[in-house]
Structure formats: C-alpha cells, structure tokens
A and B are shown apart, each in its own frame.
Chain A
Amino acid sequence: MRVLSGMWSGIAVVVFLLIVIGGSITLTAMTSTSVSLSSALADPYLIGVIRFTIGQAVLSTVISVGLALIVTRALARRSKFPGRRLLISLMGLPVVMPVIVAIFGITAVFGKSGLLNQLLSLFGMEQSFTVYGLTGILLAHTFFNLPLTIRLLLPAWESISRENWRLASMLGMSSRQLFRLLEWPSISDRLPGICLIVFLLCFTSFAVVLTLGGGPAATTIEVAIYQALRYDFELSQAALLAFLQLSLCTVAALGLLKWFRVFAATSGRKVDASDRPDIHSTTGKAIDVFCIGICAIFLLLPIAMIFYSGIRGPIYKVISDPILWLASGRSLIIAILATVISMLLAMGLIKSVRFLREKTKQQKGAELALTIGSMTVAIPPMVIGTGFFLIALRTHTLAHATLIMIALVNAVMVLPYLIRSISPPYIQAGEQYYKLCRHLGLSGLQRFRLIDWPIIRKPTAFAVGLGGALSFGDMGVAALFDTDGQVTLPVMLYHQLGAYQFDEASVTAVFLLLLCVAFFWAINQIIGR
C-alpha cells in the first residue's frame, strides 16, 4: 500500500492522459463510417506523406539539436557578457509566435524579396536564394526549435559543479576532454527527452511545412488530418491518421527511450563558468563569439522584421480598439487556466516518477511515465479539440464550458514543456537529498517547500511562463470552440488577416508578442525569484 500512496497522483495523470488521447481519437472515429488501416497503408499518396513527414522531422531535429549543442556550449562558456540575459529571453519568442507571424518574419529575411536576397543582389546575384522547399522547412523548424533546445539544454551545463571544474583544471584537461568527461555526461541524460520534443513538434508541423515547403509535395500527416477533418469530413479517416501519427511517434519515443540514461547526481548549486579552464584562449573566445553571433542574427533578424513592420503600422487605431483588449483578456484567462491545469498534471506525474525511482529503482518505468506525458504533442490539437467538442456536445456543456475546454486542450498540449524542464532538477534534487530528508524526517509538503522548491523554481518559472505564453498565442483550438463570438487575441489576428487588414495585423502581432513576453516575465518575477 505504501507503494501505491506515492503513485496515485502519477497514475491519475497517466490515466487522464490516456483517456484524453484515446478518447478523443475513439470519439472522432465513432462519428462516421469505418476505414481500415491496411487500405490506408496501401495508398501510395499516404505512404509518400508518411515518408516525407518522418524525413523532414528527423532532419529538422538533427539540425536544430546539433546547432543548439554548439551554441549552448558557447553560451555556457561565456556566462557573462552584456546583453546575455536579454538575448536568452528573446530566444523565447519564436516558440510562442503564431505560425503565420513567424512565416512573415522568416520570408522578410529569407524570402524572394527578403533581406538576404537584397544583400545578394548588391553582389549581382538577383533572387539567387530560394527559401521555398526543404530549405524553408528546415529553416523554419530551426527558427522555432533551436532557441527552445538552447533554453532546455542550458540548465544541464549549469548543473556541473564548481568542484568538478576545479578538478578538471588541476588535471589540465583540454577543451575536448572537458566535453567528453564533464559536459557530455551531464547533458546526455536530457538529450533524448529534448530530441523527442523537437522531433514531435517537427513531425506535427503543418502550416509552415505547407507554406514554406513550396507545394503539395511537402505534405505532413497533420495536413492530411486537417483535410480529412475539415474538407472531406471523413472523421474516421482523421482518427485513423491521428492514430497512425501517434503510433509512429511512439515508436520514435521508444527508440529514444533506450538511450535514456540514469541521471548523474551533481550538486545543484549555482556555478560560474569562470571556473572552466578552457575559456581563456583567444581562439576559444573567437569561436564562441562567432557561434553566439550567428545564432543571434539568425533568430533576431526575423523578429526584428516583425517588430519593424508592426511599428510602421496603424498603432493607435489597433490599440484603441476595445475588442483588442477584450480579446487579450480572454487570452489571458485561457493562458492562466491552462497553466494551472498543466502545472497540476506535470507535478502529479513527476512526483510519482521520482517516487518510482527512489523506492523501486524502476528507471524504465519512470521514463515511460515521463514519455507518456510528452506524447501529447503528437496528437493533433484538432483531433483532441474535436474529441472534447463531442464530449461537451453530448453532455450539453458546450455553452458553459468553452473556456475550460480551450484551456484543457492547451494544458495538455503544453504539458511536455513543463515535464521536460521540471523533471530533471526535481529528480536530481530527490536523488541528492533523499538520504538527508530521511535522516531529518522531512517528507511531503515540508520536503517540497524546503528542499525541492528552491531547486526547481527557476526551471518551473521558465516552463510555466513558456506554457502560458504558448496558450496565450494559441489559435487552432480557440477557433474550434467558438460558440459565442468572443475572440482571443490570435483569433483576432487571423480575422484581421482575413479582412485585408495586413498592416493592422502586423501591429496586433507585435502586441501579441509583447504580451507573451510580459506574461513570461511576470511569471518569472513571481515564481523564479
């Protein structure tokens, strides 16, 4: 019974997630006639779509995570330079941008008439860079996921203790040895989880792939799901495709699970990279500056272009529109609700995962539970949304539960971010202080308050801020549930775009981004300090 007592919260969350995932797919499937998996898999078009989806997702993941490793190491080695904090904060922006805004930002830099081609034409090369195609897809996915990966990886570097650096220093280790003996062990246990999130995000990417992919040859399974749900109204086909997508993602997750390693226990104290022995050489410095510089230009130029066109727009006209403020209020409510729900789910799950590791040494079981929590990204929001919609419809709660429904779907969608940022330090704190806690008789809330909270509050603030900002910028789900004509800010943005109000929309986009930043900042002020 004692085993169960530590497990109930995790079991509850896992059961909830399985019901949400399975239920939404089943409910969607039940609404129309059945289709068979085998006949779907015999369709050459679909096979092509599946191959393309996997291929671009693998490539995008390798590139995003590979580049992130290089840039994060450079950022970790240079722990003090002017603008570092601002740079890292701005890196949160691509993650929370509505897709269409990001597309406009990326094409403003890399498009046919973008900055890059304007620069090239100065050298006599007219429109020589073409973004549309695989290039565009990889570029956009890197734009979204490189900063996310950096943010998730940086704490791994910061968890290497001062003693270790000093020891390495005394032993006269080279930069390469440092990486192999100190840095790799500390980052490699997080890497599979991070790769999984990035892979899932790229796998389920939709509008970016279609628009920057240059044509229907670039079609992901998500596009086929949208088509089935929306234009063909073949719900069972949509459910089947969602199931297929989930299965493929599960295979990928299980493959990565094999590489999950035991967390290396390190002291969680704040360290300073100035203890590193390899940061003083000039070449090292030059390389770091180069890496950080290129990354900053790549990420900040599209953001700058978005702000530039926003500033030139009719700012007063947009800001003085009362609907903008109503929509912001509604978005804020959704973000707060989603964050609270998601936080409850994440903590419930993580608590049990740590219990599993401490009491039963079930590493794989623990990782499996975390993986289930991450898989929610692999379910198309449209399918979860449709499932929830059908539940609300049948229980006659549609008119009253709209906000909760939107928040719930968002909470489930952002859960992986919370799990992946909070679980490593939380589990580490457990491993390190387990004996001490037992010795002192600390348990339950007291242990959480005194031991865990100080260690996880920073990553929690980051994850909650990110999750909230993501829900704030959500579009697909909110539009699906509209029952009373009230709009959220992203929906309003799409309304403007649909009504030729492109200049107004660019102002709204900047406004939306600023509110996301403000939300992120506020959370970090409240929790992270």
Chain B
Amino acid sequence: MKTPKLLTALICGVCLSAAESVYAETSTLTVYTYSSFTSEWGPGPLIKKAYETRCQCNLKFVGLEDGAALLSRLKLEGNRTSADVILGLDTSLIAEAQATELLAPHGVNTANINLAVTWSDSYFLPYDFGYFGFVYDSERIQALPKTLRDLMLNPDSPQVIIQDPRTSTPGLGLILWARKVFGDDDISAWETFASKIVTVTKGWSEAYGLFLKSEAPMVLSYTTSPAYHRHIENSERYRVAMFDDGHYQQVEVIARLANSKNPTLAQNFLKFMLSDDVQKILPTTNWMLPAVKTGQPLPEAFKESEIPKVILDFTPEEVSTNRKNWIKRWLGAVAK
C-alpha cells in the first residue's frame, strides 16, 4: 500500500505547485535575495511570517543563486524589474549595484549600526556581516597556522580547498584578503600557496562538501561555520583558525529600488531588517553576525574567541576598480 500513498502525495504535489496563487488583493512587496536566505533553512520564512502579520501585506521573496546572480538579474531587468527591495549584495558588489542607478536612498537612521567601521552609505543598509576564515578538521590537524602569512608561505601548513574568485564570493574574498595582507607581494605568496591547494571549486557548497568528506583538512569558509556545527550538530570537531594578521570582512546589505510601487512598504521593510526581531534570528539561520546590537547576547554557539580582532576590508570602490585585474594576476600565479 506504500506505492499508492507516494503516488497520491506526488500527484498532490503536482497539483499544488501548478496552482499558483493569483489572489493578491493586498499589496505585495517583492524582495530579490539569494536562495540560501529564502530557503526553508534560512531566515526568509521566519521574516516573512513576522513581517506579514505586522504590515498587512504580502512579502514575496525571489531567491536567486547568490549575490552575483541577484545583481545580474537586476541589471538584466533594468527599469522593468518587479523588485521593490534587493537583499543580500555584499560590499564587493555595492559599487556596481550603485552604478545601475536603479536604487533609492534608504533614508533610515543608521545610528544603531554596530560594525567595525562607521557606516555612511546612504543607499545600502547593512543587516549582517561575517568574516572569511579557514575552517579545519580538529581530528586531522594539530599544528595550526597562526596567520594568513603563515598559512600561505609555510611549507608545513595544511592542504586546503578554496573557491574560484571568478565564480564565488568567498573565492573573491580570499583574493582581497591576501591582497590586504601581502599588498603587491600577493602574487609570490599565491605562487607558494598553490602547492597547498587541493582544488579550487565553483562555489562554497562543493568546497565545504568535499571538506566534510575529508578531501582536505582545511577549507575556505566563514568564521561562523563552527557555530553551525556546535549549535545544530553539537559537535566541536570543526573549528576555525583565527589569524593574528586579520580576517577579511563581508558585510551584507539591503537596498530599495527607485521605481518601486510601494516605497513606504519598502522603507519599512528596510527598518524591519534592522529591528531586534530580525537581528536576533540571523545568527542561527543565516549564520552571520547581526549588524545592530540586539538586546540579548549572541547564542552560546558563537564564541568570543572566534570573532577576529584585526579586521580587513577594502572600500567598495577599490574592489570594483581592481577586481578584474587582481583576478587576472591571481590566475597568472595559480594557473600553471
């Protein structure tokens, strides 16, 4: 009797997904974001529920592959876009998003924002942030590198899996990170480091998946990754190597569209993203740190020792002008 049940369920699935909800009497706020934000494990569903009860509106998330896909969708659509808000660009994409001239100033008071740098951008509003970091398998590594310099130059440092800067955000993050630490010497550092790289993957999922399957003892990820394993799996096995010479920062931002049909709704949503209700759920759903100090401390899984002391970043303009050239130089050093 199992087969008919499955079949019924499948048929129901077919029917339900075919029947699209066409009832939209209340106004709808459309938010373009990346898919892991809006997936059932991300903060999206919780935010939708909380916001809809308070705004008497529909909140519609459109989940695109990642931040870059989000920007490229926005550029493709131009003035025809149906987005009211874009959520999930990071600092390396800000300058290019700004150049589309599709955005409107957020008009939100930024006094509460609690980042390492003072935030003065009038179009983009940070809602969370994190740091790139090398996550390692404590069952396979004893001697840890203490700095990025050590990791990249020391012949005894562990093997790593990283992501490609041409196709992924953390991949680009590491280029910028190395650039901050080594300056113009980054190329020779990369040349030395190349022998330690097991492989360079298309995106974070491939890299982290291979790392969990023990293909390398270390992987480029985020400093908050161990918090996930601690919080959800109750495991201390995967930890992050904290570097004295600093960690590159990634700030995720939200902005509203200039020709949105619901400007007030959009602006309220921006404010809502900075409210306690949202900020307190971000750490354990988006695995990033809240951009606004919330009334309560971070969940226990987030350790003070895993928050970098030295913070590195470039301005969006610096990234935008140099990105292509730096990637090209990187290719020259690593692709041999």
Contacts and interface: CB of A to CB of B under 8 A. Distances in A.
Contact of A45 (B75, B201, B331): B331
Contacts of A487: 39, 63
Contact of A231 (B12, B63, B167, B228): B167
A215 B335 contact: yes
A485 B62 contact: yes
Interface in A298-350: 321, 323, 325-330, 332-333
Contacts of B14: 329-330, 332-333
A62 B25 CA distance: 60
B63 A389 contact: no
Contacts of A486: 17
Given A111-B210, A219-B335, A233-B72, 17 more contacts: A132-B198, A213-B199, A214-B197, A217-B336, A223-B166, A223-B167, A325-B12, A329-B10, A333-B18, A399-B82, A482-B62, A482-B63, A485-B62, A486-B17, A491-B35, A495-B40, A496-B41
Interface stretch (A86-94, A204-212, A461-469): A204-212
A482 B172 CA distance: 25
A227 B328 CA distance: 12
A390 interface: yes
Contacts of A492: 39
Interface stretch (B213-221, B250-258, B289-297, B299-307): B213-221
A226 B203 CA distance: 12
B70 to A, nearest CB: 10
B167 A325 contact: no
Closest 10 CB pairs of A and B: A329-B13, A495-B39, A497-B205, A329-B14, A498-B36, A499-B41, A325-B13, A113-B214, A217-B335, A216-B335
A100 interface: yes
A450 interface: no
Contacts of B164: 210, 216
Contacts of A226: 166-167
B10 A332 contact: yes
Given A112-B198, A112-B215, A112-B216, A494 B205 contact: yes
A251 interface: no
A479 B212 contact: no
Given A215-B335, A216-B335, A484-B62, A325 B202 contact: no
B209 A498 contact: no
Interface string B44-85: 000000000000000011111100110110011100101000
B153 interface: no
Interface stretch (A102-110, A157-165, A352-360): A102-110
A237 to B, nearest CB: 11
Query: Which applies to chain B's interface (DSSP): helix, strand, loop or mixed?
Result: helix
A30 interface: no
Nearest to B166: A227
A501 B69 CA distance: 22
B13 A207 contact: no
A500 B212 CA distance: 10
B141 interface: no
B199 A45 contact: no
B144 interface: no
A230 B209 contact: no
Interface in B205-234: 205-206, 208-210, 212-216, 225, 228, 232
A376 interface: no
Interface of B: 9-18, 20, 35-36, 38-42, 60-65, 68-69, 71-72, 75-77, 80, 82, 96, 164, 166-167, 172, 194, 197-202, 204-206, 208-210, 212-216, 225, 228, 232, 287, 324, 328, 330-331, 334-336
B17 A100 contact: no
B210 A393 contact: no
B209 A100 contact: yes
Given A216-B334, A227-B167, A229-B72, A211 B10 contact: no
A251 B312 CA distance: 49
Chain A interface size, under 10 / 10 to 19 / 20 to 34 / 35 or more:
35 or more
A485 B199 contact: no
A107 B216 CA distance: 12
Contact of A498 (B11, B166, B204, B331): B204
A516 B14 CA distance: 16
A494 B35 CA distance: 9
B38 A485 contact: yes
B17 A498 contact: no
A186 interface: no
Given A107-B210, A483-B62, A210 B336 contact: no
A79 interface: no
Nearest to A336: B14
B201 to A, nearest CB: 5
A175 interface: no
A502 B233 CA distance: 12
Contacts of A213: 199
A329 B15 contact: yes
Given A207-B206, A326-B17, A495-B36, A500 B232 contact: yes
A231 B166 contact: yes
Nearest to A213: B199
Interface in A492-519: 492, 494-502, 505
